[in-house]
Amino acid sequence: MEFQLDRAQEILERTPATLRELLAGLSDAWTSPNEGPDTFSAFDNVGHLIHGERTDWIPRARIILAQGPNRRFEPYDRFAQNRESRGKSLAELLDEFARLRSENVAILRGWRLTDAQLDLSGEHPELGPVTLRQLLATWTAHDLGHVAQIARVLAKQYRDAVGPWRAYLPVLDRP
């Protein structure tokens, strides 16, 4: 499927509500465990998505659109949420993500991007040249990857409880 801005926006604008239905009000016993060292709990995933709204997608899009002399992105801190989510409840994080995402989708819509703008590029610190189109496709796929990751870390809490069915549920053993 080729990237189309309106298709991408369909996903971007619904992720906060998807996560709210999946997570709001769930017991901490579901939302606080992770999948091992340096992995994310459901709670951590939401904090990670918030950090992306603040520092990654729209800020990087602005660097590309400005086409200034330095188009290199700031490196992304995958563990920033360990600091930033501290002391917050999951309900607060879900609200914060919904608010930031709504603002960012409004900014994206307001730009009324042309094909020529979508072809502009910036410099990823590790991956090299990337286009605005690729950045926006990645924002979208990244959302879906974290929905999958959250469902997986929740499912893993029942890895032993399912008994012999574990053989039929690959999600329980996926890294």
Cβ 136 vs Cβ 24: under 8 Å: no
| Closest distance to its own copies from the beta carbon of 8 (Å) | 8
Measured from the CB atom, is 2 or 86 closer to its own copies? 2
| Closest distance to its own copies from the beta carbon of 9 (Å) | 11
Q: Which residues pair with 65 in a beta bridge?
A: none
Measured from the CB atom, is 87 or 168 closer to its own copies? 168
Q: State the residues that interact with its own copies by CB under 8 A.
A: 1-3, 7, 10-11, 14, 17-18, 20-22, 25-27, 29-30, 33, 124, 127-128, 130-131, 133-134, 137-138, 140-142, 144-145, 147-149, 151-152, 154-155, 157-159, 161-165, 167-172, 174
Measured from the CB atom, is 27 or 70 closer to its own copies? 27
Measured from the CB atom, is 15 or 81 closer to its own copies? 15
Measured from the CB atom, is 25 or 87 closer to its own copies? 25
At 47, is the secondary structure helix, strand, or coil? helix
Question: CA-CA distance, 114 to 119, in Å (whole number)?
Answer: 9
Cβ 137 vs Cβ 108: under 8 Å: no
The single residue listed with the structure tokens 């009324």 is 112
**Where are the strands (E) in the chain, listed by range?**
121-124, 128-131
| Closest distance to its own copies from the beta carbon of 70 (Å) | 20
Sign of the alpha-carbon dihedral angle for 77, 83, 89, 95: negative
Read off the amino acid at residue 78: R
| Closest distance to its own copies from the beta carbon of 12 (Å) | 12
| Closest distance to its own copies from the beta carbon of 43 (Å) | 15
CA angle 49, 144, 133 (to 5 degrees): 85
